[in-house]
């Protein structure tokens, strides 16, 4: 069936709500694009993957071909957000329950393999589609009710639009402890795709496309000016673009610093950061970088033991006055529900799902983070023995 624009706002909102529910509630995600992917294809794939990590999911990108050199910084971002890139058929796991197809005009252009083709035919697998290609040489790939296929400057713009709708779902955001779906890296990916498909806005075709180009540029600029760049003169999208590429390099430095603190005890790989450590990190890196990297490292630690990763750190001095604990479970380890830790220790300020939890204590109640961490690890050793 030839792709057509979604005519009514109501229909578009219903589709977006259905997609958001799938992002929050389903478990194993594979994200695909078209053969010979361009900037918008890769950017939209990375953007939706980053959005999934906000729900503490572990998405995978299937990209068997070459990636344009000018957007390799997006691949670096993936490595710091626990987003795996698969480039061979045999790397595709068997337990995928959700496939997300980005920026692909028709089924014949999908960058796929036999295993993925078979999964898409299964009743147990949901296929979501996000695309802006309409008209004669196009056809739908996603399942009925899961196709956000409509007029837009790019597929990345549509991913950004999903996040704008998600921003209004305060109950859902609170449940997953998401302060704002618009992280710096997410906006970077969205605007990269828009810029790539519109040549810095020169090819925008309508007032609606101009509106969303301006919205995401403004959000992008605001994130930089309020959380990352304190003495900078950003006057254009080009300036913003270059600045955020530079910040992805800072992310790598932050990642290395925290990784060097890793300790392993039985099934748990962990790091405990002191006030001095956090003082250094917040003096060298902006809060968004530190937040992204700490979450990612807990995931990576879990993969090193094939069991559990944990990171413990105090918030920036003078802010919340909390000590944070973030715990993740390896993707291949399904035998233990991490929420049991919250039950074991009757933790009141915490939450998450079976594979990822977070909890926190006021600093005056957590005088000995190392001792408390040891207590948690000892209990985990007992439970997992």
Q: Please report whether residue 243 resides in a domain.
A: no
Query: What domain count does the chain have?
Result: 2
Query: End of a domain among 210, 228, 246?
Result: 228
Specify the CATH number for the domain of residue 355: 3.10.310.30
Whole-model pTM: value is 0.70
Q: Please report whether residue 278 resides in a domain.
A: yes
Position 234 scores a pLDDT of 43
Specify the CATH number for the domain of residue 161: 3.90.1640.10
Q: Are 245 and 70 in contact (CB under 8 A)?
A: no
Condensed to tens digits (0 to 9), the pLDDT of residues 28-83 reads 999 999 998 988 999 999 999 999 999 988 899 999 988 877 677 788 788 777 79
Asked whether residue 38 falls in the same domain as residue 140, the answer is yes
Which residue ranges of the chain lie beneath pLDDT 70?
70, 197-206, 208-209, 220-221, 223-248, 288
Asked whether residue 195 falls in the same domain as residue 60, the answer is yes
Q: Please report whether residue 256 resides in a domain.
A: no
Asked whether residue 51 falls in the same domain as residue 106, the answer is yes
Asked whether residue 47 falls in the same domain as residue 192, the answer is yes
Asked whether residue 224 falls in the same domain as residue 273, the answer is no
Q: What is the DSSP string of 3-43?
A: B-----HHHHHHHHHHHHHHHHH---EEEE-BSS--HHHHH
Asked whether residue 164 falls in the same domain as residue 267, the answer is no
Burial class (CB in 10 A: 0-12, 13-18, 19+), 38: middle
Asked whether residue 175 falls in the same domain as residue 324, the answer is no
Q: Please report whether residue 334 resides in a domain.
A: yes
Asked whether residue 40 falls in the same domain as residue 154, the answer is yes
Q: How far apart are CA 302 and CA 333, in angstroms?
A: 9
Asked whether residue 122 falls in the same domain as residue 215, the answer is yes
Which letter, b or e, does each residue of 82-106 get, where b requires 16 or more Cβ atoms within 10 Å of its Cβ? bbbbbeeeeebeeebebbbbbbbbb
Q: Please report whether residue 133 resides in a domain.
A: yes
Position 206 scores a pLDDT of 66
Asked whether residue 164 falls in the same domain as residue 268, the answer is no
Q: Please report whether residue 265 resides in a domain.
A: yes
Asked whether residue 25 falls in the same domain as residue 169, the answer is yes
In which domain, by residue range, is 267 found?
A: 261-384
Position 273 scores a pLDDT of 95
Asked whether residue 197 falls in the same domain as residue 278, the answer is no
Burial class (CB in 10 A: 0-12, 13-18, 19+), 18: middle
Q: Please report whether residue 32 resides in a domain.
A: yes
Specify the pairing of strand 356-362 against strand 350-353. Answer: antiparallel
């Amino acid at each position: 069936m030839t792709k057509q624009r979604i005519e009514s706002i109501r229909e578009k909102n219903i589709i977006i709500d259905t997609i958001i529910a799938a992002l929050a509630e389903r478990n194993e995600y594979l994200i695909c694009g078209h053969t010979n992917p361009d900037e918008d294809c890769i950017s939209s794939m990375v953007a939706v993957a980053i959005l999934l990590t906000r729900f503490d999911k572990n998405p995978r990108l299937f990209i068997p071909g070459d990636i344009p050199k000018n957007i390799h910084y997006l691949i670096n971002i993936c490595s710091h957000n626990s987003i795996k890139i698969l480039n061979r058929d045999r790397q595709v796991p068997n337990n995928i329950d959700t496939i997300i197809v980005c920026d692909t005009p028709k089924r014949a252009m999908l960058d796929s393999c036999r295993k993925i083709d078979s999964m898409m035919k299964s009743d147990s697998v949901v296929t979501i589609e996000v695309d802006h290609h309409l008209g004669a040489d196009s056809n739908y790939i996603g399942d009925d009710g899961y196709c956000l296929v409509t007029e837009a400057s790019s597929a990345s713009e549509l991913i950004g639009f999903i996040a704008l709708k998600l921003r209004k779902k305060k109950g859902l955001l609170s449940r997953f402890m998401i302060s704002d779906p618009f992280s710096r890296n997410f906006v970077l990916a969205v605007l990269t795709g828009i810029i790539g498909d519109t040549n810095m806005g020169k090819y925008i075709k309508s007032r609606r496309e101009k509106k969303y180009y301006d919205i995401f540029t403004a959000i992008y600029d605001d994130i930089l000016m309020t959380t990352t760049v304190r003495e900078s003169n950003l006057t254009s999208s080009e300036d913003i673009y270059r600045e955020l590429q530079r910040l992805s390099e800072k992310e790598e430095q932050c990642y290395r610093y925290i990784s060097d603190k890793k300790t392993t005890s039985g099934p748990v790989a962990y790091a405990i950061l002191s006030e001095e450590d956090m003082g250094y990190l917040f003096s060298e890196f902006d809060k968004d970088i530190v937040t992204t990297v700490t979450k990612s490292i807990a995931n990576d630690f879990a993969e090193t033991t094939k069991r559990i990763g944990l990171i413990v750190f105090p918030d920036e001095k003078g802010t919340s006055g909390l000590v944070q604990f973030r715990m993740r479970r390896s993707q291949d380890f399904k035998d233990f529900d991490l929420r049991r830790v919250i039950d074991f220790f009757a933790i009141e300020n915490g939450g998450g799902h079976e594979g990822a939890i977070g909890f926190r204590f006021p600093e005056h109640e957590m005088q000995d983070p190392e001792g408390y961490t040891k207590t948690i690890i000892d209990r985990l050793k007992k439970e997992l023995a």
